Amino acid sequence: MHLNRKAIKNLHISVLPPDGRVRVSAPENMSDTAIRMAVISRIPWIKKQQHDFAKQPRQSDREMVSGECHFIWGKRHRLNVIERSGKHEVKASPGRLHLYVKENTTTENKALVVQQYYRRILKEKLAELMSYWEHQIGVTAQAWGVKKMKTKWGSCNIQAKRIWVNLELAKKPPECLEYILVHELVHLLERNHNDRFKKYMDTFLPDWRERRHLLNSMPLAFNHWVY
């Protein structure tokens, strides 16, 4: 268990993938005994989360070779590596992900080209959704972007009104991206995951629980997370 003491009012317990490590964030003035008792009271929930991590399907390490399976918006695509002169690029067709690279391109550089493709399509989709959902929810994000994150699908800096979404969402069904975006925008109305937050989610996106389940049941990248 990893304990962080912070200037917060309430204790928070998180179970982190891939191995179910427990992270506890506690108020600075909370006693060790109180923290221990709170963790003990949540043991059944902690064990359930760890069990869910253990049974969730995971992709193997990517070798970036033809025939390998990659996901775009929740759909499987077979990688087709084509060596040629000229710029590196990715083109998608039904069931296929065509990767154009120069001869002797390293596995790491091939992966980087595909990652840049994911970033581009995710930003395009996110821009469409952002303009719609800002209007629906009645909030405005001052900035938003895409980045790789280890333990979260999305994040919201409430003070700066800045939203980030995880690059991996380009591999998930579009409704998963929409769920994460709405989730983060709603944090501009309510900071905490309390009943008020859930009521907002029920109002704006009534099927958000189904979308969350879909996201967390999709195959994960090797050594990845759930939200």
DSSP annotation string for 144-158: EEEE--SS-SEEEET
Whether residue 88 is found in the same domain as residue 156: yes
Whether residue 47 is found in the same domain as residue 74: no
Going from the C-alpha of 91 to that of each of 79, 117, 186, the distances in angstroms are 10, 9, 35
Residue 227 resides in a domain:
no
Residue 226 resides in a domain:
no
Amino acid at 92: A
Least confident of 38-47, 52-61, 63-72, 107-116: 52-61
Q: pLDDT digit string (tens) for 124-176?
A: 999 999 999 999 999 999 999 999 988 789 999 999 999 999 999 999 999 99
pLDDT above 70: percentage of residues in the chain: 91
What is the span of the domain harbouring residue 116? 69-217
Residue 60 resides in a domain:
no
Q: In whole angstroms, what is the distance from residue 197 CA to residue 192 CA? A: 7
| pTM for the predicted model, two decimal places | 0.73
Average pLDDT of the segment spanning 22-33:
90
Q: Is the pLDDT of residue 61 over 80?
A: no
